[in-house]
Amino acid sequence: MQLGRYDEALVDYVVAIDQDPKLTYCHFNSGTLYLTLGEYQKAINDFSEALKEKGNDPFALTRRGSSL
């Protein structure tokens, strides 16, 4: 993701989430990617999943709010 190869990073996050849906940081990072790509509903979904696992994480809340 930091290299700007968003499509490749997104595939990696999706695979990781499929393997372990409780990987909060993968939901957060994929949500960040979706937000960057303008896919707001997907971003909201991923940030919401991160919040289910991590509670009221201020970063996930802020980014989910930015996706609305």
Determine the average pLDDT of the residues in 35-42: 94
In this predicted structure, what is the pLDDT of residue 62? Answer: 83
| CATH hierarchy code of domain 6-66 | 1.25.40.10
Q: Kindly tell me if the per-residue pLDDT of 60 is higher than 90.
A: no
Give 34 or 4, the one with higher predicted confidence.
34
Find, among 44, 42, 41, the residue nearest to 62 by Cα: 44
What Å distances lie between residue 46 and 24, 50, 55, CA to CA?
A: 9, 6, 14
Q: Kindly tell me if the per-residue pLDDT of 26 is higher than 90.
A: yes
